[in-house]
Copies of this chain bind each other. A is one copy, B any other.
Amino acid sequence: MLFHVRMDVNIPLDMPEEVAAQLKQREKAYSQELQRSGAWRHIWRIAGEYANYSIFDVESNSALHEILTGLPLFPYMKILVTPLCRHASSVREDDT
């Protein structure tokens, strides 16, 4: 089941660079593991912003919630989830 997610990141300006770097490293590892497992289908950077549009493929709303609240950057994010479904015009098998 697919979900469209927008994440906007706001890391506090006074966070020590080292702490921020480490946090981003953990975020990247966490994201890549989920991408490889297939749960995090796509991630794109929004040009000019510290934000992304992502597509998740999970079994339930709860599975999505656990993934999102587990993000190392979650405390610094504003997240908006939109449930998707297959479009009648789609010709791709993996748009479901």
| Measured CA separation A53–B95 after assembly (Å) | 11
Please tell me the size bucket of the interface on A.
35 or more
Q: Is A95 in contact with B44, judged by CB distance below 8 angstroms?
A: yes
Residue of B nearest to A36 (CB): B91
Number of copies: 10
Query: Which of A1, A81, A82 gathers most chain B CB within 10 Å?
Result: A82
A89 surroundings in chain B (CB, below 8 A) = 27-28, 31-32, 35, 43
A46 surroundings in chain B (CB, below 8 A) = 4, 82-84
Report the minimal beta-carbon distance from A74 to chain B, rounded to whole angstroms.
9
Q: Is A95 in contact with B47, judged by CB distance below 8 angstroms?
A: no
| Measured CA separation A76–B85 after assembly (Å) | 21
* B-binding residues in A (CB < 8 A): 1-5, 12-13, 27-28, 31-32, 35-36, 42-50, 52-53, 55, 60-62, 64-65, 68-69, 75-76, 79-92, 95
